[in-house]
Structure 1
Amino acid sequence: MGLFKQNPFGHYLILKKWLIRIMGVLTHRRYSGFNQLQIEGSEIINTLPDKNVLFVSNHQTYFADVVAMYHVFNASLSGRVDSIKNVGYLWNPKLNIYYVAARETMKGGFLPKLLAYAGSVSIDRTWRAAGQEVNRKVKFSDISNIGTALEDGWVITFPQGTTKPWKPIRKGTAHIIKKYKPTVIPIVIDGFRRSFDKKGINIKKRGILQSMQIKEPLDVDYENDSVQDIVEKIEYAIEQHPSFKKVITEEELKLQEELNEQRRYSAKTKKDKVKSKNKTINNE
């Protein structure tokens, strides 16, 4: 990699590499320490082409979701299956990973600007701006930039365009799928909303069991599926279709918390046993 090599958006790859390394080390314990990230299906990552892959996911925080995916994708590419143990996988990260984010979010301070350099494709939301409902036309340059990112590598997008659950899928994602015909990989995440604040920067609660399920490529007929057909397929794939919605009772929430506590206790017991065993071996 040349020292001054740039990606299609003019970002120096050497700077992006070091940014991913540093930010990755600083954030690793958020998913494997303070909290535990349970991963399922990461073996799919190694089967994907190097370019024109679109990840579609539900959304729970501004930044923590994306950062977790960077960890999981790079760990998987380095040979780990459903694990982000040993942060060494960040030494040689995949540099052509991008994510779609609201332009106003990525301009909100020094840290978002750093994160934007790591791979943001910033767009103007057509339905909301500065906390107010708006109705404006899609900017063709925004669609073109997403296309440029797909032509260069992988793109992560959150088609609901909000961290609130059960919101409708934006049709723009379906138009992009029909236009650029990417391999579409659904991802379902959970636990991030309980772990972090809305921005995904501050830790709200520790000991939360987070989860990330990476699913098989979405079956899309690019020519014959309508925009609405694709929207509905995405809704089901990321488990945000109204049929998935249910009211969680207090009893169910309590059972979930008890299960998390049991998992944390089991993990701690296992860790203590390993430490004890190593200490015994060293003493011998």
Structure 2
Amino acid sequence: MPLFKRNPFGHILFLKKWLIRIFGVISHGRYRRFNNLQIEGSEILRNLPENNVLFVSNHQTYFADVAAMFHVFNAALKGRDNTIKNIGYIWQPKLNIYYVAAGETMRAGLLPKIFAYVGSVSIERTWRSEGKDVKRQVKMSDVSNIGKALNDGWVITFPQGTTTAFKPIRRGTAHIIKKHKPVVVPIVIDGFRRSFDKKGLQIKKRNVLQSMVIKEPLEIDYENEDVADIVTKIEYAIEQHPSFLKVLTPKQLEEEQDFIESRRFWGADSKEKESKKKL
């Protein structure tokens, strides 16, 4: 690779590679040591095309969610199944992974600006700005940049546009799907809100079960399904449809907790038991 080769956004790939390496090493312990990220479905990633793939996910922190996906994606592409053990996978990272983020978030300080260089497709939110509700037109350059990123590689988007659970899916995501016809891969994450602060930079609590479930690509009839149909399909796929929101009795809450514990099918239970024995 030429030293100063750039991606479609003008970012120098050599510099981007080193930023991913550095921040990958720094962040790795947040998912392997302080907390244990449990993964399901990483083998799906190896069967995806090189470009025009759109990942849709629920959102819990500004940066920790995306950082975890960078780890999982690169580990899976290096042959690891549902694990980010042995960080050697980060030495030759996939450089055409992008994520959609609010422009004001990525401009808020030096660290976000560095994160933006790693792969942000920054957009101006049409519904909220500086903590206030607004109404403004979609910038066509934002739409064009998302298309440019899809043409070059993989794009991660959080279609609710917020870290608050069960907020509506933004219709813009469905419009992008109809226009560019990408492979749409749903991801469901959990535990990040409990283990990190809202920005995802500071560890708030340790030994939290973090999970990431990568699902099979959605079946979408790009020509005949309308925007509303696609929005509903995404809501169900990332488990953010209102039907997932329910009021539980104390007994149901206990049963729900037992179910969550049973989802530790990746081996986290044995790890905890070992640590208790040592005590």
Task: Compute the TM-score of the two structures, normalised by the length of structure 1.
Answer: 0.91
Q: Is the 8 A contact 1:191 1:209 kept in 2?
A: yes
Q: Please name the residue that 1:243 is paired with.
A: 243
Deviating runs (4+, > 2 A) in structure 1?
247-260, 262-266, 268-273
Q: Helix, strand or coil for the counterpart of 2:218?
A: coil
CA separation in 2, counterparts of 1:190 and 1:79? 24
Aligned-residue RMSD, C-alpha: 2.1
Are 2:165 and 1:172 aligned? no
Aligned residue number for residue 25 of structure 1: 25
Q: CA separation in 1, counterparts of 2:254 and 2:202? A: 23
1:266 corresponds to: 270
**Kept in 2: contact 1:57–1:189 (CA 8 A):** yes
Cα offset, 1:44, TM superposition: 0.2
The 3-state SS of whatever aligns with 2:138 is coil
- State how far apart, in whole Å, the 2-side matches of 1:40 and 1:14 are: 31
**In 1: Cα distance, 2:226 partner to 2:236 partner:** 16
Q: Structure 1 residues 196, 253: closer, same or farther in 2, change over 3 A?
A: farther
Q: In the aligned structure 2, how far is the partner of 1:168 from the partner of 1:137?
A: 19
CA distance in 2, matches of 1:136, 1:227: 20
Q: CA 1:248 to 1:10, structure 2 compared with 1: closer, same or farther past 3 Å?
A: farther
Question: Structure 1's 144 and 38: CA in aligned 2 closer, same or farther, altered over 3 A?
Answer: same
| Counterpart Cα distance in 1 of 2:75 and 2:209 | 19
| TM-score (normalised: structure 2) | 0.93
Q: Over residues 57-116 of structure 1, what are the superposed CA-to-partner deviations in whole Å (9 max), with x where a residue is unaligned?
A: 000000000000000000000000000000000000000000000000001111101110
Q: Distance in 2 between matches of 1:142 and 1:170?
A: 15
Amino acid corresponding to residue 256 of structure 1 in structure 2: Q
Aligned AA (1:47): N
1:102 — aligned with what? Answer: 102
Match of 1:87 in 2: 87
Residue identity matched to 2:134: V
Cα deviation for residue 32 of structure 1 reads 0.7
Identical-pair percentage: 69
* Residue identity in the other structure for 1:266: S
Q: Residues of 2 paired with 1:172 and 1:233: CA distance?
A: 14
- 2:65 is matched with 65
Distance 1:198 1:250, change over 3 A: farther
Q: Partner of 2:234 in structure 1?
A: 234
What is the alpha-carbon distance in structure 1 between the residues aligned to residue 157 and residue 177 of structure 2?
11
Closer/same/farther in 2, CA of residues 246 and 142 from structure 1, 3 Å limit: same
Deviation at 1:256, TM superposition (A): 3.4
Cα pair 1:50 1:153 within 8 Å, conserved: yes
Following superposition of structure 1 onto structure 2, how do residues 73-152 of structure 1 map, counting pairs within 5 Å? 73-152=73-152
Give distance in 1, aligned partners of 2:90 and 2:194.
26
Change (3 A) 1:200 1:253: farther
- 1:211 equivalent to 2:211? Answer yes
Change (3 A) 1:152 1:267: same
Q: In the alignment, is residue 256 of structure 1 matched against residue 260 of structure 2?
A: no
Q: Report the Cα distance in structure 1 between the residues aligned to 2:249 and 2:59, rounded to whole angstroms.
A: 22
SS across alignment from 1:207? coil
Q: How many residues align?
A: 273
Against the structure 1 CA distance between its residues 264 and 184, is the aligned structure 2 distance closer, same or farther, given a 3 Å change threshold? closer
Q: Are 1:105 and 1:112, in contact at CA under 8 Å, matched by a contact in 2? A: yes
Pair 137,265 (structure 1): closer, same or farther in 2 beyond 3 Å: same
Unaligned runs of 5+ in 1: 276-284
2:157 maps to what in 1? 157
Alignment check: 8 A CA contact 1:207 1:264 kept: no
Distance 1:210 1:90, change over 3 A: same
**CA shift at 1:246, angstroms?**
1.5
The letter of the residue matching 2:168 is P
Residues 249-277 of structure 1: per-residue CA shift (max 9 Å, x gap): 566379739949x976630555799x9xx
Q: Which has the larger radius of gyration?
A: 1
CA distance in 2, matches of 1:103, 1:243: 32
Specify the SS of the correspondent of 2:32: coil
